[in-house]
Amino acid sequence: MIFNGIKNQTVEFKIRGYELPENSGPSYEANFLYIELNVESNFGNWQTDDCALSTTDFEKIINWFCYLQQNKTVTPQLNFMKKGVSFELIKNTDDRKSIRILFHSECTPQNKKDIKLYYVDLELNRVELKKVSEAIQKELNLFPTRGFEE
pLDDT of residue 150: 46
Identify which of 75, 66, 85 has the alpha carbon closest to the alpha carbon of residue 124.
Answer: 66
What would the DSSP string read from start to end of 41-96?
Answer: ETTEEEEEEEEEEEHHHHHHHHHHHHHHHTT----SEE--SSTTEEEEEEEE-SSE
- Taking the domains of the chain in order of start, what are their residue ranges? 2-140
State mean pLDDT over 39-48: 94
Decide if pLDDT at 23 tops 80.
no
Q: Is 25 exposed, middle or buried (0-12, 13-18, 19+ CB in 10 A)?
A: exposed
Summarised one tens digit per residue, pLDDT across range 49-74 is 888 899 999 999 999 999 999 999 99
Q: Can you say whether residue 7 is alpha, beta or left, with left for phi > 0 and alpha for psi between -120 and 50 degrees?
A: left
Q: Give 2-140's CATH code, choosing from 2.60.40, 1.10.10, 2.40.128, 2.30.31.
A: 2.30.31
Decide if pLDDT at 78 tops 80.
yes
> Do strands 118-125 and 96-103 pair parallel, antiparallel, or not at all (unpaired)?
antiparallel
pLDDT of residue 25: 60
Single pTM value for the model: 0.90
Distance (Å, whole) CA 104 – CA 123: 21
What percent of the chain clears pLDDT 90, i.e. is strictly above it?
69
